[in-house]
Chains A and B, each alone.
Chain A
Amino acid sequence: MASISIRNLTKRYGNFTVIPDLNLEIADHEFVVFVGPSGCGKSTLLRIIAGLEPISSGDLYIGDTRVNGVQAAQRDIAMVFQDYALYPHMRVYDNMSFALELRGTPKAEIDARVKRAAALLHIEPYLDRKPKELSGGQRQRVAMGRAIVRNPKAFLFDEPLSNLDAKLRGQVRAEIKALSQELKTTMVFVTHDQIEAMTMADRIVVLQSGTIQQYDTPEAVYERPANQFVAGFIGSPAMNFFPVEWRQERAILSQGGTVVPLGEETANGLRHAGRAVLGIRPEHFAVATDAADGITVNVKLVEPLGSDTLIHFDLAGAASIARVDPSLRPKVGDRINLRPQPGKTHLFDAANGQVVR
């Protein structure tokens, strides 16, 4: 168990810089999720921590030890790969015991640890099978078992759920979360799925083009996104954005001139900024009975999800979504009055996307 410290790290492939200058502190026992779109550098960063990619410049510490030049084999890190990377020629038992055997762990202890991990992951019946005889979910568990028998300084997960079907993904997600609480080990998890990030992380690192956009708790990232990129990336469906201006003591959509009723804090922010981008999450629209209290929109598409209903509409030239109560039973062509919930709207600088407070 150890903290991970990344200081002024850069990673280049030839002339192409993947990670320009990155600083990150992951505390001991913390579950941190790297999230971001494809190509943002999250997997590269994880592989750097694992020792599978060299660092171009900067420092990487695991615990108190600088590990820049330390081989993966010597870092005492366990990793679960996207394709599980089980050893095809070894039985499940041997897959799990291999690392311990390499370290010269006594046979009796290996046996005890493998069986304990197998029990924890419910894979005891498969210990004598080869990986090809297992389902995707079982292989995933074996890959986790291979990691946890080692009792490493940190666990690294590289999109381990992306090959599972939706139901199994939800189940394994919960299991990993429970496991992290039981093992109390530093865990770094890479995903492009923001739901995985939100549900599992103690803290989320949102990455874009190798740069940390925000590093905070899931609640903070959701409620107080640092910039428009984070606001758009975290949350499903994504946040709606509208360019707005402050005119005649009112917030007005730049395109179309519709007046937007805003809470006091956001209104003050816009008053100072003059113009900005207004962000409203689909779930932060309320349905107003009176047209004067909200923005009237034409329903273009309805997606009933059971617990909620999503309505699609165009506003100020932008395709937008609102999440409403299913009892509303909206239909295509309906005109609905939507009002942003006070205190739940966000303002971003129109030029650099940073949050306007």
Chain B
Amino acid sequence: MTDAVNTDRWIRWLNLVQLVLAGVIIMTPTVWMVLSSFKPSFEVTAYPPTLIFTPTLDNYVELTKTTPFLSYALNSLIVTVGSTALGLLFGIPAAFVVSWTRISWPAILTLAARMAPGTLFLLPWYVMFRQVGMIGSYTALILSHAVITLPIVIWVLLPSFDAIPRSVFEAAQVDGCGVTRILWRIALPLVASGIAVSAILAFVFSWNYFLFALVLSNGDTKTLIAAAFNFIGEGSTQWGALMAAATLIALPPLVLAALVQRWLVSGLTLGAVKG
């Protein structure tokens, strides 16, 4: 009895230690980034790093003065929302059909596309988009980012659709529903939390994606993350402004994740256990 209690206590301690370790590893760069964004320029790269300093908003002021930060943010928003919407538009029916027909190769194909390095697509896309005069357009960026959002939507939603008992769909068929109506009236309401989770993940991944925007955007359509790259110069890097930009870029995904974290966890484990 006492042994069991002791073992239990040990396990709880070990869990706590693990969590603290993981938290430190994950949070250190983020905390460092946020703190640095409030440091005076000369202190950002000081060695050893200063932990006590007078916070300043200079980096943020410089960022907004020297760059059209808000328009970049708007570009990011347009591309991210557009590609997320596109991912949902095609990903939801795709996931449903894969679950319905149990023909999985299309889903595997999208996963392979997601796994492949972005550079693999970049050159052909650049050539294609240039030929049709779309380089620097939102459309090109949204279409390219759909490669990121579509697989996420499909693979997050697949277990959600799979978790719906087959007989529910069959009952709907017998009741008079065709496949489209089954998707719309029966399946979609049942995977609502899965859709929310997939939308958030697609948003975050698209928002953070750097490579396509770097090559396919122009000065007017540059996304935040590609614009932030401009602060890294060959001779000197504006670390303070870069940290301020990085902090602002990281803010929407972090806020989004924090707001829906409980939903996110339950959504990701949907279908793991049939209710």
Contact = CB atoms under 8 A, between A and B. Distances in A.
B174 interface: yes
A50 to B, nearest CB: 6
Nearest to B168: A85
Given A88-B190, A89-B190, A82 B167 contact: yes
Nearest to A143: B171
A74 B175 CA distance: 9
Interface string B166-188: 01101111111110010001100
B175 A99 contact: yes
A51 B174 CA distance: 8
A98 interface: yes
Contacts of A72: 170, 173-174
Contacts of B178: 71, 73
A71 B176 CA distance: 9
B173 A51 contact: yes
B171 A102 contact: no
A187 interface: no
A79 B171 CA distance: 7
A88 B168 contact: yes
Given A85-B165, A89-B190, A103 B176 contact: yes
Interface of A is mostly: loop
Query: Which range contains the number of A residues in contact with the other chain?
Result: 20 to 34
A126 interface: no
A299 interface: no
Interface string A47-79: 000111000000000000000000111110111
Given A52-B170, A79-B171, A82-B167, A87 B186 contact: yes
A51 B189 CA distance: 25
A150 B176 CA distance: 11
A52 B176 contact: no
A71 B171 contact: no
Given A89-B190, A102-B175, A102-B176, A81 B167 contact: yes
A199 to B, nearest CB: 25
A323 to B, nearest CB: 39
Contacts of A175: none
Interface string A92-119: 0000001100110000000000000000
Q: What are the 6 tightest A-B residue pairs by CB atom distance, in nearest-first order?
A: A85-B167, A99-B175, A85-B171, A72-B173, A102-B176, A89-B189
